[in-house]
Amino acid sequence: MSETVPPSLTRRIWMRIFAATGVIAAVVASYWIKVDNARQPEEPPATAFGQPVDTGRALLTPRALFVLSADPGDPGVEPGTKLLALTARIENITSQTQSVIFASPPMAATGDLELAEPEVILDRDGEVLQQLQPRLPEDVTILWTLPGTWEAQQVEITFFAQIFKLRDNLYGQSNWLGTYPAGSLLATPEISS
């Protein structure tokens, strides 16, 4: 059996200096990441009409924003209901038919109020958009129901993009994962008679 020789004092000091340096570096780095996040809040980039927003599965180009009256003949529609309508062109940029058009639908906020999830209508049919085929851009209208007390004012619409990962961390399979704000549109809707 060989006799264990304890490390020299100099070696022990160096080892502790290295260990302490690592811990201090980790603390400083995590602190700086928090400071940096607080200093630069994640604001989505501003977008405009005619400017395409990449939502991951599709390119969405907003065209016009207006307020219209809901069709009183539609089931469940109360008289006098107003709708906020965003017309847009949308194109599937993946290699297969997409049934999930928006993993997170566009969010409209007016004043302090966030509007409920919108409906996406295919202009061609006047029905809810169910699929997008690759290489076939479609015109759509995104409709939010406005509260009865709403008065004409600026609206902020936030679009979200979904992250595609070719090899996910679990199985290494290609997958659509979480979403993040990809564009913000500020506009005052036209009032349509």
Partner 1 sequence: MSRGAALAAVLAGVVLLGGMMNTKPDYNSTFQPFVTNTNPGEEGMGRLFTARITEAHIASQIEFDHWGEQLRRDSAGVFLIVRLSASGTARSTRLTAIWLGASGRQYSVSSRVELPSSGIEYKWFQPGLFQRAVAVFELPEDEIKGGRLALMAAGDARLDSAVQIPLQTLGPKQDVTRIGP
Residues that bind partner 1 (CB under 8 A): 95-97, 99, 122, 124-125, 127, 130-131, 133-138, 166-167, 171-174
Q: How far apart are CA 101 and CA 57, in angstroms?
A: 7
Smallest gap, in angstroms, from Cβ of residue 35 to partner 1? 36
- Residue closer to partner 1 by CB (options 125, 190) is 125
* Collapsed DSSP state (helix, strand, coil) of residue 26: helix
Q: How far is the CB of 94 from partner 1 (least distance, A)?
A: 8
**Shortest Å, Cβ 189 to partner 1:** 27
Return the number of the residue (73 or 80) whose C-beta is nearest partner 1.
Answer: 73
Of 97, 74, 95, 70, the residue nearest 85 (C-alpha): 70
Least Å from the CB of residue 163 to partner 1: 17
CA 12 to CA 17: how far, in whole Å?
9
| C-alpha to C-alpha distances, 86 to 74, 109, 136, 139, 183, nearest whole angstrom | 19, 13, 20, 11, 15
Q: Which is nearer to partner 1, 133 or 192 (CB)?
A: 133
